[in-house]
Amino acid sequence: MTIHSAQGGEIQMSQSKYSRLINFLQEDLAISTASLAVALRHREQDPGPLAMILWQYGLITLEQLDQIYDWLETA
């Protein structure tokens, strides 16, 4: 299943990179579709970086947060 969302909150991120980020989260970090959906719903009410929202709600570990930011730097 694929998550679709507007990219509000991801500053200066192209739709292509945003789609690759979602794919990275699902395929490489095994973040569930349900967890992503929860984070995306919360982001609509309180915009912010998706990675931080996932971490703040306990949906990813601190190690996974580091992996996401490493990916964002090189993507």
pLDDT digits (tens, 9 = 90+) for 6-41: 444 445 578 889 899 999 999 999 999 999 999 999
Are 1 and 33 within 8 A, CB to CB?
A: yes
Could you give the number of structural domains in the chain?
1
In a domain, 16, yes or no: no
In a domain, 62, yes or no: yes
Q: pTM for this structure? A: 0.78
In a domain, 4, yes or no: no
Domain with 57, as residue range(s), is 30-74
Tokens of 18: 């945003």
In a domain, 10, yes or no: no
Are 22 and 3 within 8 A, CB to CB?
A: yes
The radius of gyration of the chain from alpha carbons, rounded to an integer in Å, stands at 11
In a domain, 51, yes or no: yes
In a domain, 34, yes or no: yes
H runs (alpha helix) in 1-75:
15-27, 33-45, 50-56, 62-74
pLDDT at position 35: 94
Mean local confidence (pLDDT), 42-65:
92
